[in-house]
């Protein structure tokens, strides 16, 4: 007897912006400033000590931004999540319903298989395989479309956040802004300030 495995998967629309954004954030270059990953902190400070002494390193004006917080709490990120949910929730439901329908047909076939002729069994198996292939195709298309749109929305959020960080960094004369660190003194954390600017109404 042939057993069919139909993948019925709930697609997560709530985790739209994964935490693996260090690579993206690390590529954001400010005008004369850089948002840097944690591994670069030691290198930058070591270079400052080597070239100008410890006093120069201590004089650096350093800021820190928690990118994960920005992507969870920024109004633009929340709006992007809502937009994607509206765009994809119906397709998600349709896929789940289709997968459940195919699984029900598989269960029915397995119950009835002992009473079917060889010709009937082969015919039903072919039908189920065709339906499963179509389901898998639609599932892949859904995931590809969702990933594409997630990346598009993510880029817009990152670009907006980058502009705000750049404006704050220039206005307050930061030498460097880090986006990740093993430890950071809270006095260097400008995440709240960035969020306030990001969430401010347009024109303010």
Q: Is 10 inside a domain boundary? A: no
Residues of the chain where predicted confidence (pLDDT) is lower than 50? 1-36, 38, 49, 54, 56-57
Q: Is 16 inside a domain boundary? A: no
Q: Is 3 inside a domain boundary? A: no
- Cα distances (angstroms) measured from residue 185 to each of 19, 63, 90, 192: 22, 10, 45, 14
Segments of 24-129 assigned E as strands: 29-30, 33-36, 62-64
Q: Is 12 inside a domain boundary? A: no
Q: What is the pLDDT of residue 7?
A: 40
User: What global pTM score does this model have?
Assistant: 0.67
Q: What is the pLDDT of residue 168?
A: 95
Q: Is 61 inside a domain boundary? A: yes
Domain count along the chain: 1
The DSSP result for 66-92, as a single string, is -HHHHHHH-HHHHHHHHHHHHHHHHHH
Q: What is the pLDDT of residue 6?
A: 40
Q: What is the pLDDT of residue 152?
A: 95
Q: What is the pLDDT of residue 44?
A: 55
Asked if 64 contacts 191 with a C-beta cutoff of 8 angstroms, the reply is yes
CATH at 165: 3.30.910.20
Report the distance separating Cα 140 and Cα 134, nearest Å: 10
Q: Is 170 inside a domain boundary? A: yes
The 8 Å CB, 24+ separation contacts for 97-101 are 98/135, 98/138, 99/6, 99/7, 99/8, 99/9, 99/135, 99/139, 100/8
Residue ranges making up the domain that contains 55: 22-199
Q: Is 124 inside a domain boundary? A: yes
Asked if 191 contacts 69 with a C-beta cutoff of 8 angstroms, the reply is yes
The single residue listed with the structure tokens 């139909």 is 6
Q: Could you tell me which of 135, 140, 39, 43 has the C-alpha nearest to residue 94? A: 135
Q: What is the pLDDT of residue 59?
A: 73
Q: Is 48 inside a domain boundary? A: yes
**CA-based angle 76:80:85, to the nearest 5?**
150
């Amino acid at each position: 007897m042939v057993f069919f495995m139909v993948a019925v998967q709930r697609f997560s629309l709530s985790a739209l912006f994964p935490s693996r954004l260090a690579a993206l954030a690390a590529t954001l270059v400010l005008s004369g400033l850089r948002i840097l990953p944690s591994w670069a902190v030691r290198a930058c400070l070591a270079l400052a000590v080597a070239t100008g002494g410890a006093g120069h390193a201590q004089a650096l004006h350093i800021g820190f931004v928690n990118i994960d917080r920005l992507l969870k709490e920024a109004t633009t990120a929340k709006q992007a999540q809502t937009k994607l949910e509206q765009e994809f929730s119906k397709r998600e439901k349709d896929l789940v319903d289709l997968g459940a329908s195919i699984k029900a047909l598989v269960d029915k076939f397995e119950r009835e298989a002992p009473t079917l002729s060889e010709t009937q069994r082969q015919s039903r198996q072919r039908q189920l395989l065709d339906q499963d292939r179509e389901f898998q195709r639609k599932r892949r298309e859904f995931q590809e479309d969702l990933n594409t749109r997630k990346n598009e929305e993510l880029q817009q959020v990152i670009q907006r956040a980058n502009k705000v960080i750049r404006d704050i960094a220039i206005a307050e004369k930061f030498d460097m802004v880090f986006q990740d660190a093993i430890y950071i003194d809270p006095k260097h954390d400008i995440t709240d300030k960035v969020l306030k600017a990001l969430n401010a109404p347009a024109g303010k």
